[in-house]
Every structure is written in C-alpha cells, then in structure tokens.
C-alpha cells in the first residue's frame, strides 16, 4: 500500500496534465491550426462556421488578370480573362490537390478568408471552371480583384488572389 499511493498520485497528476493539454487543443485556434491542413480538412462537417478548415496552396501559386489591365478604359459588357499559375482550375466541389475555381470581386473589399466566399453581385463565382467572362458594369470607375476558392468556395491558405485593378467603363 505504501508503494501504490505515490504511483496513484502520479497517475492522477499525469491525467490532469493530459486533460489540460487536450482541452487546449480543442479550443478554436485558426492561426495555430493552419499548419495542420490535412487533419483539419477531415473535420469539415463538424466545424463551426467561424473556423472553416482551409486548403493549403503551393508556394508561388498566383492568379492574375490577363485582361483588362489596370487603368484600362473599356466598354460594357466588360470582357475579362483570368490567368493562373502553379494551380489548376477545376469545378466547384472538385477536391483535387492544388486546384480551385475563380471568383471575381467587384467593387468590394476582401472577404473573410475563414468562410466560403459570399455569392452576390460583388462576389461572382465561376464554379463551372470557366477562365473568362463578360460582366455588365455601370459607366464609371470599378475595382476588380480575383480570388481563388477551394472545392467549398473557401480561400486557400495562403490565399491565391490578384492585386486589385481599377478600370473605367465608358
Ligand atoms: Cu465559388
């Protein structure tokens, strides 16, 4: 009995440490969890909307406007061509590695990278995998930006996005 008691105390102490460690891991830590994308991707359904798992993007991947160019004056409807490097374009729902589909942000700031990209007149999805479009814009200046989304329309980690461009519509 004199031997069992200290061992038991140690066991209880260890269990307490473990449970503290576990509860810390369960806490939402989007920044810390970002490095462990493979594990995070498995828990898509159970995640709270505030911390959606993000798909990793390869280093050096980029999207960019082939046309129009920053500062261009164009007629509406505006023809837009999307360029991409280091990743492939697939349809929404297609979960291939290093892939995604284009989104065009029109006259709006960047959305929350932890959530699916909104779908409205300021956030246009190209879930069919298309790499060009024509959009109707009112005369005046407009700011356009591209943002790639994964199979669930969530920006990658790191996000793949273009610089914003400003165009003038006649
Ligand atoms: Cu989308």
Predicted confidence (pLDDT) per residue in 97-156, tens digit: 999 999 999 999 999 999 999 999 999 999 999 999 999 999 999 999 999 999 999 999
**Which domains are present in the chain?**
4-51 (no CATH), 62-169 (2.60.40.10)
- Average model confidence (pLDDT) for the chain? 81
Alpha-carbon span 53 to 145, nearest angstrom: 23
CA distance 25 to 165: 41
CA of 158 to the centre of ligand 1 (A): 17
Contact 89, 102 (CB under 8 A): yes
* Ligand 1 centre distance from Cα of residue 42 (Å): 20
Distance 127 CA to ligand 1 centre (A): 5
pLDDT at 50: 61
**How many residues can be counted in the chain?**
170
The separation between CA 116 and the C-alpha centre of its own chain, rounded to angstroms, equals 7
Residue 49 is predicted with a pLDDT of 56
CA of 9 to the centre of ligand 1 (A): 55
Measure 13 CA to ligand 1 centroid, in angstroms: 49
pLDDT at residue 52, as a whole number: 80
**If you average pLDDT over each of 7-21, 25-39, 54-68, which comes out highest?**
54-68
What is the phi-psi region of residue 86: left when phi exceeds 0, alpha when psi lies from -120 to 50, beta otherwise?
left
**Rounded to whole angstroms, how far apart are CA atoms 94 and 18?**
39
> How are strands ordered across the β-sheet holding 165-169?
73-74, 165-169, 140-146, 103-106, 123-125
Q: Which helix (H) or strand (E) holds 63?
A: strand 62-67
pLDDT band at 7 (very low <50, low <70, confident <90, very high): very low
Which percentage of the chain shows pLDDT scores above 90? 69
pLDDT mean over 71-79: 98
């Amino acid at each position: 009995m004199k031997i069992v008691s200290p061992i038991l105390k140690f066991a209880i102490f260890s269990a307490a440490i473990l449970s503290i460690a576990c509860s810390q891991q369960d806490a939402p830590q989007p920044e810390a969890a970002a490095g462990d994308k493979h594990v995070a991707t498995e828990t898509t359904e159970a995640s709270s909307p505030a911390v959606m798992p993000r798909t990793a993007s390869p280093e050096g991947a980029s999207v960019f406007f082939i046309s129009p160019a920053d500062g261009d004056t164009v007629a509406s409807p505006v023809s837009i061509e999307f360029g991409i490097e280091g990743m492939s374009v697939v349809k929404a729902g297609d979960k291939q590695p290093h892939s995604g589909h284009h989104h065009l942000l029109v006259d709006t700031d960047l959305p929350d990278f932890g959530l699916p990209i909104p779908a409205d007149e300021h956030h246009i999805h190209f879930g069919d995998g298309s790499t060009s479009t024509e959009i109707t814009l009112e005369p005046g200046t407009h700011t356009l930006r591209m943002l790639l989304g994964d199979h669930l329309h969530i920006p990658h980690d790191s996000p793949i996005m273009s610089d914003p461009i400003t165009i003038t519509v006649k």
